[in-house]
Amino acid sequence: MAKNLVIVESPAKVRTIKKFLGPNYEVMASNGHVRDLPKSQLGIDTEHNYEPKYITIRGKGELLASLRKAAKKADKIYLATDPDREGEAISWHLLKALNLDEKSKNVKRITFNEITKNAVKESLKHARDIDLNLVDAQQTRRMLDRIVGYRISPLLWAKVKRGLSAGRVQSVALRLICDREAEIDAFIPEEYWTLDVSLEVSGEKKPLIARYAGKNGEKADIGSKEELERLEEELKGEKYTVTDVKKGERRKKAPLPFTTSTLQQEASRTLNFSTQKTMRIAQQLYEGVDVKDEGTVGIITYLRTDSVRVAKEAEEMAAEYIKEQYGDAYMAENAAPAKDSRKIQDAHEAIRPTDINRLPSRLKDSLSRDQLRLYTLIWKRFTASRMSQARYDTVQVRISAGEHRFSVSASKLVFDGFMKVYTTDEDEKEEENLLLNELTTESSLSFGSFDAKQHFTQPAPHFTEASLVRTLEELGIGRPSTYAPTITTLLTRRYIAKENRNIFVTELGEAVNKIMKSSFSSIVNKDFTANMEILLDNVGEGTLDWHTIIANFYPDLDEAVKQAEKELEHVEVRDEVSDVICEECGRNMVIKYGPHGKFLACPGFPECRNTKPYLEKIGVKCPLCGGELVVRKTRKGRRFYGCENGPECDFMSWQRPTEEKCPKCGGLMVEKGSKLQCINSECGTIIDRRADEMSDESAEE
- Same domain membership, residue 376 and residue 264: yes
Q: Please give the pLDDT value at position 203.
A: 79
Q: Does one domain contain both 272 and 380?
A: yes
Residue 231 contacts residue 211 (beta carbons within 8 Å):
no
Q: Are residues 514 and 550 in the same domain?
A: yes
Residue 309 has pLDDT above 50, yes or no: yes
From residue 255, alpha-carbon distances to 262, 380, 414, 428 in Å are 11, 10, 19, 14
Q: Say how far apart CA 30 and CA 91 lie, in whole Å.
A: 9
Q: What is the pLDDT of residues 479-513, one digit of tens each?
A: 888 999 999 999 988 899 888 789 999 888 888 89
- Of 542, 568, 594, which residue sits at a domain end? 568
pLDDT at 701: 45
Q: Which of 549, 568, 587 is the last residue of a domain?
A: 568
Cβ proximity of 67 and 94 under 8 Å: yes
Pair 118, 156 in one domain: no
pLDDT tens-digit profile of 90-99? 999 999 999 9
Helix (H, G, I), strand (E, B) or coil at 651: coil
Instruction: Give pLDDT tens digits for 134-144.
Output: 999 999 999 99
Going edge to edge, which strands form the sheet with 686-688?
657-661, 668-672, 675-678, 686-688
- Lay out the sheet containing 652-653: strands in order across: 616-621, 628-633, 639-643, 652-653
Same domain assignment for residues 474 and 547: yes
| The pLDDT of residue 57 | 95
Total domains, the chain: 6
| pLDDT higher than threshold 90 for residue 412 | no
**pLDDT for 270-304, tens place per residue?**
999 999 999 999 999 999 999 888 888 999 999 99
Query: pLDDT grade, residue 596 (50/70/90)?
Result: low
Q: Model confidence at 337, in pLDDT bands (50, 70, 90)? A: very low
Region class of 537: left (phi > 0), else alpha (psi between -120 and 50), else beta: alpha
**Residues 205 and 227 placed together within one structural domain of the fold:** yes
CB atoms within 10 A of CB 686: 15
Instruction: Give yes or no for a cis peptide into 555 (omega within 30° of 0).
Output: no
* Alpha-carbon dihedral sign for residues 488, 494, 496, 497: positive
- What average pLDDT does the chain have? 88
Asked about 326 being catalytic, the answer comes back as no
CATH number reported for the structural domain that contains residue 232 in this entry: 2.70.20.10
Give the pLDDT mean for 462-484.
92
CA 526 – CA 16 distance, rounded (Å): 42
Same domain, 676 and 631: yes
Q: Where is pLDDT greater, at 95 or 103? A: 95
- For residue 349, CA distances in Å to 13, 33, 113, 308 come to 20, 24, 7, 6
561 and 516, same structural domain? yes
Confidence of residue 660 (pLDDT cuts 50, 70, 90): confident
Burial class (CB in 10 A: 0-12, 13-18, 19+), 220: middle
**Range picked from 202-211, 232-241, 632-641 for highest mean pLDDT:** 232-241
CA distances from 307 to 32, 110, 342, 538 (A): 24, 20, 18, 18
pLDDT score, position 613: 80
**Exposure string (b/e) for 589-601, b if CB count within 10 Å is 16 or more?**
bbbbbeebbbbbb
What's the sign of the alpha-carbon dihedral 514, 516, 521, 527?
Answer: negative
- Please provide the DSSP assignment of 503-541 as one string: EEE-HHHHHHHHHHHHH-TTTT-HHHHHHHHHHHHHHHT
- Read off the CATH number of the domain in which 351 is found: 1.10.290.10
pLDDT > 90: percent of the chain: 60
Question: Do residue 225 and residue 80 come from a single domain?
Answer: no
Domain co-membership, 481 together with 407:
no
Which of 78, 212, 302, 641 is labelled catalytic? Answer: 302
Cβ neighbours, 10 Å, residue 49: 9
Query: Residues 420, 360: one domain?
Result: no
Q: Is the pLDDT of residue 255 over 90?
A: yes
145 and 196 together in one domain: no
pLDDT score of 697 more than 50: no
Give the domain extent around 275.
Answer: 260-385
